[in-house]
């Protein structure tokens, strides 16, 4: 994160991107707006990718330093707050904002991530359940499918406004929980629920996990302390059984 | 302009674009934000261009209806107000705004154009002199060169905010002059100046024309009536010689 002189760190996460050209173009757009941390979950054509390098133009170091992950969960482990870039809120109980309001929304965080889905199908509901909020780029309702690099460009453009604001603001905030902290809690919780036969069928299990993730991820500015409290409650309830 | 249901018309003008892929990607971004009128000045690889078609994805009709011109002047003839998208204001007396303020800036116009330059060198000073104002996308100062399709995407995204506002506002404004009206005046003026040996050398001539264009193009909301007044003054001064 050395290229970012501001206290706000931002990570761009591409989930299963298909074309190397788009990864390269996305990296270039990131650099235009002072964002340098690129994370890629299971790129279709493997990694490293020559086409990604060629399209990145002056942003080659972003491609070379990109981190590769096997799961969404791993890719966001150390982030405090994660947005899923998606055309429209799905049929799930999930907060969303328009990209226009993104800069004001991130101002209280120190490390934020934005997830982008595949070129042809975006992010699926399970992936979205890992995010705290959906961010939607307001488009023509009849033609809302953006090129992925264009979407990254627009979002990074908006984030840049937040980076600039953040340069001045941001004073002694409490230590926020990362997604890893919360995932640790989920692991604990899901384990217990499993033992208690809470999940009737395999289908039901995936669906319920998704609902539970969405529920807890809607809690804004969850602190490390609060996650510890949640884990304490869980431990306590288990003991009393 | 049939796809645009709003009273505000917007044209995107690409000046000597080099790669068909970028023209296609720009068309797709335009359609995402309800902008359909694409004008191209002297595309390097001729027209039609198969790569432009392939990259436009769902926006093929924008490519097929694109209008081709031989000069910047012709391409903006029927527009009321033109912005030159450029990384930073050049060493010329020209107003500029940040892209962030574009939506509020266009609200009084009925037909606006945005010019974008070549991939490798942008717009030159003479081309910029045809615009009323420069619009700058605020970027990292160390890496300000945007991919042209990304620049079109960001600008169209901002314009879309204006289109939405415009949907409600915009009531009986006066009839504004087009660039064609003003060009007619310039033709008249330059002719007279030429006859009067105002331009000492050929170099000086191009430079003075550029300065004069920049001067008059800074007059916001110039009406047809006012251009007629200017032409009347010119005729009058000539007669009295």
Q: What is the pLDDT of residues B89-125, one digit of tens each?
A: 656 667 889 999 998 888 778 899 999 999 999 999 8
Whether A24 and A56 have beta carbons less than 8 Å apart is answered as: yes
Question: Across the interface, which of A58, A143, A145 has its CB nearest the CB of B143?
Answer: A58
Count the domains in chain A.
2
pLDDT at residue A88, as a whole number:
65
| Residue A207 at interface with chain B, using a CB cutoff of 8 Å | no
DSSP element (H, E) containing B68: strand B67-69
How far is B156 from B166, CA to CA, in rounded Å? Answer: 14
Asked if A25 and B58 come within 8 Å (Cβ–Cβ), the reply is no
Lowest mean pLDDT among A99-113, B32-46, B69-83, B140-154: A99-113
What does each C-alpha distance from B5 to B65, B102, B158 come to in angstroms?
18, 20, 17
**Neighboring chain B residues of A34 at a CB cutoff of 8 Å:** 140
Partners of residue B172 on adjacent β-strands: none
Whether residues B57 and A138 touch (CB distance < 8 A) is answered with no
Nearest CB partner across the interface for B34, out of A140, A147, A154: A140
Residue A173 belongs to some domain of the structure: no
CA atoms within 13 A on the CB side of A124: 6
Q: What is the DSSP letter of A25?
A: H
pLDDT band at residue A240 under the 50/70/90 scheme: low
Give the residue from B134, B168, B202 where a domain finishes: B168
User: Between residues B42 and A88, which one has the greater pLDDT?
Assistant: B42
Q: Which of A140, A168, A196 is the last residue of a domain?
A: A168
Nearest to A79 by CA among A217, A190, A239, A232: A217
User: Which residues neighbour A164 within 8 Å (Cβ) at sequence distance 6 or greater?
Assistant: none
Mean pLDDT of B186-211: 86
Q: Do B154 and A154 touch (CB under 8 A)?
A: yes
CA distance B58 to B62: 9
Which chain B residue's Cα is nearest to A137? Answer: B157
In a domain, A142, yes or no: yes
B106 and B217 in a single domain? The answer is no
Q: How far apart are CA B124 and CA B126, in angstroms?
A: 6
Chain A partners of B140 at a C-beta cutoff of 8 Å?
A: 31-34, 160
Question: pLDDT band at residue B87, thresholds of 50, 70 and 90?
Answer: confident
Please report which helix (H) or strand (E) contains residue B9, including its range. Answer: strand B9-15
B60 and B150 part of one domain = yes
Q: Is A66 a domain residue?
A: yes
Segment B23-32 mean pLDDT: 97
Residue A209 lies in a domain: yes
Q: Touching check for B165 and chain A: CB below 8 Å? A: no
Q: How many CA atoms lie within 13 A of B158 on its CB side?
A: 25
**Whether A183 and A163 share a structural domain:** no
Tell if the CB–CB gap between A150 and B146 is shorter than 8 Å: no
Chain A CB within 8 Å of residue B29 CB: yes
* Bridge partners, A124 (sequence order): none
Q: Of the spans A183-187, B37-41, B160-164, which averages the highest pLDDT?
A: B37-41
- Judged against a pLDDT cut of 90, whether residue A63 lies above it is answered with yes
Would you say A135 and A97 are in contact if contact means Cβ atoms under 8 Å apart? yes
Nearest CB neighbour to A153, from listed B57, B140, B153: B153
Interchain contact A140–B (C-beta under 8 A) = yes
Tokens encoding A20: 């190397």
**DSSP E strands, chain A:** 9-15, 37-41, 67-69, 81-85, 96-98, 111-116, 133-136
Same domain as A157, residue A131: yes
For residues A111 and A217, state if they share a domain.
no
Distance CA A114, CA A104 (A): 15
User: Which of B138, B168, B198 finishes a domain?
Assistant: B168
Instruction: Flag whether pLDDT at B4 surpasses 50.
Output: no
Classify burial at B212, counting beta carbons within 10 Å of its beta carbon; exposed 0-12, middle 13-18, buried 19 or more.
middle
> Would you call A144 and B28 a contact, using CB atoms and an 8 Å cutoff?
no
Is B161 part of any domain? yes
Identify whether residues A105 and A37 lie together within a single domain.
yes
ipTM entry: 0.80
* Chain B residue with the nearest C-alpha to that of A57: B147
Whether B127 and B115 have beta carbons less than 8 Å apart is answered as yes
Mean of the per-residue pLDDT values of chain B: 87
- Distance, in angstroms, between B230 CA and closest chain A CA? 41
Residue A1 lies inside a defined structural domain of this protein: no
The 10s digit of each residue's pLDDT in A118-148 is 999 999 989 998 999 999 999 998 999 999 9
Looking at the complex, report in whole angstroms how far the Cα of residue B126 sits from the nearest Cα belonging to chain A.
Answer: 26
B38, B152: one domain: yes
Give the dihedral sign, CA A138/A142/A143/A145.
positive
State whether B209 and B129 are in the same domain: no
What does the alpha-carbon distance between residue B135 and residue B132 come to, in Å, rounded to a whole number? Answer: 10
Kindly indicate the confidence band of residue A235, based on its pLDDT and cuts at 50, 70 and 90.
confident
Residue A233 in this model has a pLDDT that exceeds 90: no
User: What CA–CA distance (Å, rounded) separates B30 from B53?
Assistant: 14
With respect to residue A3, please indicate whether it lies within any of the assigned structural domains.
Answer: no
Report the percent of chain A where pLDDT is more than 70. Answer: 89
Most confident range, picked from A49-58, B81-90, B222-231: A49-58
**Residue A84: pLDDT band by 50, 70, 90 thresholds?**
very high
Residues of A in contact with B29 (CB under 8 A): 146-147, 150
Q: Are residues B83 and B116 in the same domain?
A: yes
Confidence label for B195 from pLDDT (cuts 50, 70 and 90): confident
CA A49 – CA A65 distance, rounded (Å): 13
Collect all residues with Cβ–Cβ distance below 8 Å to A18 and sequence separation of at least 6: A44, A45, A118, A119, A120
Q: Is the pLDDT of residue A95 over 90?
A: no
Report d(CA B10, CA B8) in Å as an integer: 7
**Is pLDDT of B167 > 60?**
no
Highest mean pLDDT of the ranges A184-198, B134-148, B225-239:
B134-148
Alpha carbon distances (Å) from B8 to A54, A92, A112, A193, B169: 39, 36, 37, 57, 10
| HSE value, Cβ hemisphere, 13 Å, CA-based, for B52 | 24
Instruction: Give the whole-number percent of chain B exceeding pLDDT 70.
Output: 89
Give the model's confidence band at A209: pLDDT under 50 very low, under 70 low, under 90 confident, else very high: confident
pLDDT at res. B150: 97
> Domain limits at B205?
179-240
DSSP state of A92: S
pLDDT of residue A193: 86
**Interface with chain A: mutation pick from B35, B103, B139, highest number of A CBs within 10 Å:** B139
Three-state DSSP state, A109: coil
- Nearby residues of B141 by Cβ (< 8 Å), 6 or more positions away: none
pLDDT at A90: 58
One DSSP character per residue, A173-217 reads: PPPBPPHHHHHHHHHHHHHHHHHTT---SHHHHHHHHHHHHHHHH
For residue A212, the distance in angstroms to the closest alpha carbon of chain B comes to 34
Name the residue of chain B whose CA is nearest to A24's CA.
B147
Predicted confidence at residue B217, as pLDDT, reads 84
B156 plus B213 within the same structural domain:
no
The verdict on B82 and B140 lying in the same domain is: yes
Q: Do A107 and A192 belong together in one domain?
A: no
In a domain, B21, yes or no: yes
Q: Residue B196: which residues within 8 A CB-CB, separation 6 or more?
A: none
Higher pLDDT, B207 or B135: B135
Q: Which of B213, B221, B139, B219 is nearest to B183 (CA)?
A: B213
- For residue A54, the domain's CATH number is 3.40.1280.10
Q: Answer yes or no: do B28 and A58 touch at CB < 8 A.
A: no
């Amino acid at each position: 994160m050395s290229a970012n002189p501001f206290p706000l760190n931002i990570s761009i996460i591409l989930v299963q991107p298909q074309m190397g050209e788009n990864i390269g173009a996305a990296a270039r757009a990131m650099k235009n707006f002072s964002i340098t941390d690129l994370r890629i979950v299971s790129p279709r054509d493997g990694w490293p990718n020559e086409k990604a390098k060629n399209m990145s133009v002056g942003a080659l170091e972003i491609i070379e330093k990109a981190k590769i992950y096997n799961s969404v969960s791993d890719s966001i482990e150390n982030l405090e707050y994660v947005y899923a870039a998606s055309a429209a809120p799905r049929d799930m109980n999930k907060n969303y904002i328009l990209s226009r309001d993104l800069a004001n929304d991130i101002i209280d965080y120190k490390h934020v991530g934005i997830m982008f889905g595949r070129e042809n199908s975006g992010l699926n509901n399970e992936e979205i359940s890992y995010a705290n909020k959906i961010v939607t780029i307001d488009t023509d309702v009849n033609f809302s499918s953006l090129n992925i690099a264009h979407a990254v460009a627009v979002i990074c453009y908006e984030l840049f406004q937040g980076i600039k604001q953040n340069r001045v603001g941001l004073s002694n905030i409490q230590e926020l929980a990362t997604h890893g902290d919360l995932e640790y809690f989920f692991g604990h919780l899901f384990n217990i629920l499993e033992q208690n036969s809470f999940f009737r069928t395999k289908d039901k299990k995936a669906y319920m996990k998704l609902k539970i993730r969405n529920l807890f991820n809607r809690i804004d500015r969850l602190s490390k302390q609060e996650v510890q409290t949640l884990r304490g409650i869980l431990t306590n309830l288990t003991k009393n059984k």
